Amino acid sequence: MSRAKFAFAAHPDAIADLRQLPEPIRDQALLHLQDLVHGERVASRLDGRLEGFHKIVLGAGTDLASHRLVVQFRDAPPTSTHPREVYLVAAGPRLDYAVYRSAQNRLGRTGLTLTDDMDPEQEARIRATQEARVRAARARSASYPQNRSPAGTTYTTTSPGFALTTARKAR
């Protein structure tokens, strides 16, 4: 086995996240983290509120991209033998951006910059803007209907030209 190129650290709640993952996903997550520490795997950059962090896509069976790891490559503490470390922030399902919300909450990057002396109207506007962003993101990530044809047209019984056919007799 190759020598580790990075140190490893994790947020305490991220360890609990790993324990809660389904076993095949957890095994895959641990292997990916090992590969990251050894410099044998790359992670995709995140943007927005999680800029400076990276994601690793996980999945098994029919859910090939169902879970994510959120990590950060950062300077290691002075006592470490490595100059940089892989810091695990969150692990969990991608569904409804759960893992990304967990990471944002742990890092204090929720986007809500509310202060105690804030005008209630201004606070309501900030909250409304945040809720609109969440609704827009959810709308963009909605799955396509199951009966969608390759050409992109969905046919229903109310579509023009659709005719119910009578059952044919078996020959």
Domains and CATH numbers, the chain: 7-126 (3.30.2310.20)
pLDDT at 3 over 80: yes
Q: What is the pLDDT of residues 98-155, one digit of tens each?
A: 999 999 988 877 766 556 666 777 777 777 776 776 676 666 655 434 444 444 444 4
Is pTM beyond 0.85? Reply is no
The percent of residues above 70 in pLDDT, for the chain, comes to: 71
Does the structure show a pLDDT above 80 at 95?
yes
* Average pLDDT, rounded, for the chain: 79
Please state, as a whole number, how many other Cβ atoms lie within 10 Å of the Cβ of residue 97.
16
Q: Name the more confident of 122 and 91.
A: 91
Say what the pLDDT of residue 143 is: 47
Residues 74-86 pLDDT 10s:
999 899 999 999 9
Report the percent of the chain where pLDDT is more than 90.
Answer: 42
Read off the pLDDT of each residue in 44-48 and give the average, rounded to a whole number. 90
Nearest alpha-carbon partner for 72 in 59, 89, 57: 89
Q: Of 67, 78, 79, 85, which is closest to residue 18 (Cα–Cα)?
A: 67
